[in-house]
């Protein structure tokens, strides 16, 4: 079995590399075909002479043929050099690295809440199907789902941050806090800043996990083997834990794989409303500014997570159900 699994993983890794390569080539070509270029933003609100444009194109390496640009990009990327951002004038790798902590912190909290609280609530709804609790949770979670995240974010920032002044209205840390302050003070500061963006994202995303889990659980519970187990007198809690859970996890696992890349790109509006220094906003800005190197960097990271999400999901399927392994 161990060899089967490692063989499977190796095959998937090869596929992943090929997919990533294709995606990156496509991206490189697509972003050049897409209308607009990195100098567009400069020219939009101030006069810019043709001589200046030519000098800048040469500076950013945009005057060479696309194939040559791609070749040097690949050469650099192989060495771990992802180019220099046009907009920020700094290495793309460093820019992404300094945004990762904020991104993973916010995204991680949201994923964690979804795949613990969300699953638990969904299962709770399934086992109490049709009751007032079920209907109430459905209505509340769906209302949260239908609200645009920027809208909820603005309302929370205004109410909690401005009106009541309970939590900071924006940012990730209090710049007045002494950088040498103790760990406790800095953690408290961080949590206070994290609370509202995390709450916003959790509210708008929870309905997703809850609905899938509820539906999957309901379907599993009507399977013959559950009835058999019940008929045999297996206690209800054991029925749920041994049989129902395992099978009901499939959709949620798929969802987890789908949401993994959301870590990078999913929180643009919330990052914007709360001035949270994450990657989503960086990536969105890179698209707007046509900052080609930065755009490639963030898109490659997101693509990597998409592919990783697929592998993790398949791996989890195999763990849950031994029969799947033969097929996968």
Partner 1 sequence: MSWLAQLWAAVWRRRSGRFAAVALATIALAAIVLPPVLPDPAAQPDIVAGATPPASAHPFGTDQLSRDVLSRVVSGARVSLAVAALAVLVSMTIGAAVGLTAGYFGGSVDALLMRIVDAGLAIPRLFILLLLLAVWERIPLPALVLILGTTGWFGASRLVRGEVIRLRHEPFVSGAEALGAGRRRVMFRHLLPNTAGPLLVAATLGVSDVILLEAGLSFLGLGIQPPTPSWGAMILDAKPVLVVAPWTSLFPGLAIVVTVLAVNLLGDALSDVLDSSGA
Partner 2 sequence: MIARRVASVCAAVCALAGQASSQARPPGTVVIVTGQFASSPVPTTMEGAQSTTANQELSDQLFLRLANLGPDRRTADERSFQPALARRWERIDSLTIAVELDPRARWQDGRPVVANDVAYTFARARDPKIAPKLANLLRHLADVSPDGDRRVVFRFSRAYPEQFYDIVFHASPLPSHLLGPPSAEIPRDFIQNPVGSGPYRIARAVPGQFIELAANPNFLFGPPKVSRVLFRVAGDPEARMNLLLSDEADAIENVPGLVENVRRFSEAAHVRAIALPSSTMGYLLFNQRDRVDRSRPHPILGDPGVRRAIRLALDRQGIVRATFDRFAAVPYGPVSQLLWIREQSPAAEGQNLREARRLLASLGWSDSDGDGVLDKNGMPLALALSYPLTSEVRRKIALLVQEQLRAAGIRIELIRLEGAVWNERRTRGDFDIDFSSVLQDPTPSGLTQGWSCDGGTNVAKYCNPKVDSLLERAISDPRGGGATWQAALRQIEEDAPAVFLYAPLNVYPVSRRLHDVRLRPESPWIQLWSWRAG
Residues found near partner 2 in the complex (CB under 8 A): 35-52, 55-56, 59-60, 86-90, 95, 98-99, 154, 157-158, 161-162, 165-177, 179, 185, 188-189, 191-193, 195, 272-275, 277, 281-282, 285, 288-291
Residue 205 engages partner 1 in binding (rule: CB under 8 A): no
d(CA 298, CA 242): 41
User: Which residue lies nearer to partner 1 by CB, 8 or 60?
Assistant: 8
* Residue 285 is a binding residue for partner 1 (CB under 8 A): no
- 127 belongs to the binding site for partner 1 (CB under 8 A): no
Query: How far is 100 from 96, CA to CA, in rounded Å?
Result: 6
Considering CB distances under 5 to 8 angstroms, the limit depending on partner class, which of partner 1, partner 2, none binds residue 22?
A: partner 1
* Terminal C-alpha separation, the chain: 13
Q: Which range touches partner 1 (CB under 8 A), out of 18-26, 58-66, 77-85, 180-188?
A: 18-26
Rule CB under 8 A: is residue 319 a binding residue for partner 1?
Answer: no
Continuous H helices in the chain: 2-33, 40-43, 50-59, 66-78, 92-113, 119-127, 132-146, 149-156, 183-221, 224-231, 236-238, 245-259, 262-265, 268-273, 279-289, 292-320, 322-327
- Of the candidate spans 41-49, 97-105, 184-192, 217-225, the one that interacts with partner 1 by CB under 8 A turns out to be 217-225
Applying CB under 8 A, does 22 fall inside the site for partner 1?
A: yes
Nearest distance from residue 41's CB to partner 2, in Å?
A: 7
Supply the minimum distance, in Å, between the C-beta of residue 195 and partner 1: 20
| Binding at 5: pick from partner 1, partner 2, none (beta carbon under 5-8 Å per type) | none
Pick from 97, 114, 99, 90: which is nearest to 275 by CA? 99
Asked whether the beta carbons of 76 and 88 are under 8 A apart, the reply is no
Q: Which of 19, 128, 173, 174 touches partner 1 (CB under 8 A)?
A: 19
CA-closest candidate to residue 314, choices 253, 252, 260: 253
Contact 99, 93 (CB under 8 A): no
- Return the residue matching tokens 């690295």: 97
- Measured from the CB of residue 78, what is the shortest distance to partner 1 in angstroms? 20
SS3 260: coil
Both tokens of residue 176? 């007045």
Residue 201 and residue 117 in contact, taking contact as beta carbons nearer than 8 Å: no
State how far the Cα of 194 lies from the Cα of 299, in Å rounded to an integer.
25
- Spell 70-83 as b/e; 16+ CB within 10 A means b: beebeeebeeeebb
Instruction: Name which position in 155, 177, 181, 319 contacts partner 1 (CB under 8 A).
Output: 155
Q: Is 132 in the site for partner 1 (CB under 8 A)?
A: no
Q: Does 194 bind partner 1 (CB under 8 A)?
A: no
With binding defined as CB under 8 A, does residue 5 bind partner 1? no
Residue with smaller CB distance to partner 2, 169 or 218: 169
- CA 32 vs. chain centroid, Å, equals 25
Region for 83 from its dihedrals, namely left if φ exceeds 0, alpha if ψ lies in -120 to 50, beta otherwise: left
- Find the shortest distance in angstroms from Cβ 309 to partner 2: 26
CB of 124 to partner 1, least distance (A): 16
Residues forming contacts to partner 1 in the complex (CB under 8 A) are 15, 18-20, 22-23, 26-27, 30-31, 33-36, 135, 138-139, 142-143, 145-148, 150-151, 154-155, 158, 207-208, 211-212, 215-216, 218-219, 222, 247, 250-251, 253-255, 257-258, 261, 265, 287, 299, 302-303, 306-307, 310, 313, 317, 321, 323-324, 327-328
């Amino acid at each position: 079995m161990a060899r089967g699994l490692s063989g499977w993983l190796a095959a998937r890794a090869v596929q992943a590399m090929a997919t990533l390569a294709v995606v990156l080539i496509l991206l490189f070509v697509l972003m050049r075909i897409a209308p607009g270029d990195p100098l567009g933003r400069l020219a939009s609100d101030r006069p810019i002479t043709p001589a200046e444009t030519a000098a800048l194109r040469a500076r950013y390496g945009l005057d060479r043929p696309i194939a040559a640009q791609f070749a040097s990009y690949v050469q650099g990327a192989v060495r771990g050099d992802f180019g220099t951002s046009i907009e920020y004038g700094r290495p793309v790798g460093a820019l992404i690295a300094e945004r990762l902590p904020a991104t993973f912190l916010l995204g991680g909290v949201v994923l964690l809440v979804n795949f613990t609280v969300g699953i638990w609530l969904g299962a709770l709804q399934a086992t109490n199907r049709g009751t007032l609790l079920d209907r109430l949770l459905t209505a509340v979670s769906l209302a949260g789902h239908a609200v645009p995240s920027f809208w909820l974010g603005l309302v929370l920032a205004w109410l909690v941050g401005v009106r009541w002044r309970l939590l900071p209205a924006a940012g990730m840390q209090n710049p007045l806090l002494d950088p040498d302050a103790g760990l406790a003070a800095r953690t408290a500061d961080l949590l206070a800043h994290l609370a509202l963006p995390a709450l916003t994202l959790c509210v708008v995303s929870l309905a997703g996990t809850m609905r899938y889990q509820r539906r999957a659980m309901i379907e599993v519970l009507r399977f013959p083997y559950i009835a058999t187990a019940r008929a045999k007198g297996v206690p209800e809690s054991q029925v749920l834990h041994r049989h129902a859970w395992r099978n009901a996890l499939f959709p949620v696992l798929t969802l987890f794989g789908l949401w993994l890349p959301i870590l990078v790109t999913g929180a643009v509006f919330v990052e914007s409303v709360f001035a949270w220094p994450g990657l989503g906003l960086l990536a969105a800005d890179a698209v707007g500014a046509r900052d080609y190197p930065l755009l490639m960097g963030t898109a490659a990271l997101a693509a990597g997570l998409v592919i990783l999400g697929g592998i993790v999901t398949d791996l989890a399927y195999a763990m849950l159900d031994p029969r799947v392994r033969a097929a996968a």
